[in-house]
Amino acid sequence: MIQKRFTLALHFIFIIFLTGCYVDPEPLDNQEVKEGYRPVYGSVDKGEISFTQSRSVDNPGKIYVYDKYLLVNERKKGIHVFDNSNPTNPVNLGFIQMLGNTDMAIKDGVLYADHLGNLVALTVNDFNNIQEQGRLLIRNWHLGVPPPAGYYFECIDQSKGIVISWQKSESKNFKCYALQ
């Protein structure tokens, strides 16, 4: 009698677990349009670090204060430099073009920042005359690869250049999927 009740309880629990499972949706090839990401490529030629004219801040990231300067990261593009002598009216001095840049720090007149898979050290005593002091390869640098977890994306084609960011889009040709 106890064994029959135990068996009945196991069957009941099994049925409950079955209702909690789901079948994977049909393969992507059979679907119309899927939301995902496309890689944005940059060329090594455009990967040069340079101080250019000021521009508007469109996609700000990290903010750093150094001496009288305010530095604002433009995600994956570079760093805006402001003269912050008067914090109520900062003056946009220019833009350090550094493809792939997402982070920065400064110590003793040296700016440390990531740039296309490298940690780069730049002297910034004079922003109009930035000089590279050194560079260190960052292992396993992927710059957003894979895109946010749970999304399909267009597989990377290294012949097109370096992936500098990702653009959300819709397509039925996404072949790769980001698990993490």
> Looking at per-residue confidence, does 136 or 23 come out higher?
136
Domains of the chain: 44-137 (2.40.10)
Burial 64-103 (b: 16+ CB within 10 A, else e): bebeebbbbbbebbbbbbbebeeeeebebbbbbbbbbbbe
Q: Are 153 and 38 in contact (CB under 8 A)?
A: yes
Q: What is the per-residue pLDDT across 51-92, written as a single tens digit (0 to 9) for each?
A: 999 999 999 999 999 999 999 999 888 999 999 999 999 999
Average pLDDT over residues 96-114: 92
User: Looking at residue 11, what is its pLDDT?
Assistant: 41
User: Looking at residue 132, what is its pLDDT?
Assistant: 94
Q: What is the per-residue pLDDT across 117-175, written as a single tens digit (0 to 9) for each?
A: 789 999 988 888 999 999 988 766 655 445 667 888 888 887 887 777 788 898 887 88
pTM: 0.66
User: Looking at residue 116, what is its pLDDT?
Assistant: 80
User: Looking at residue 161, what is its pLDDT?
Assistant: 74
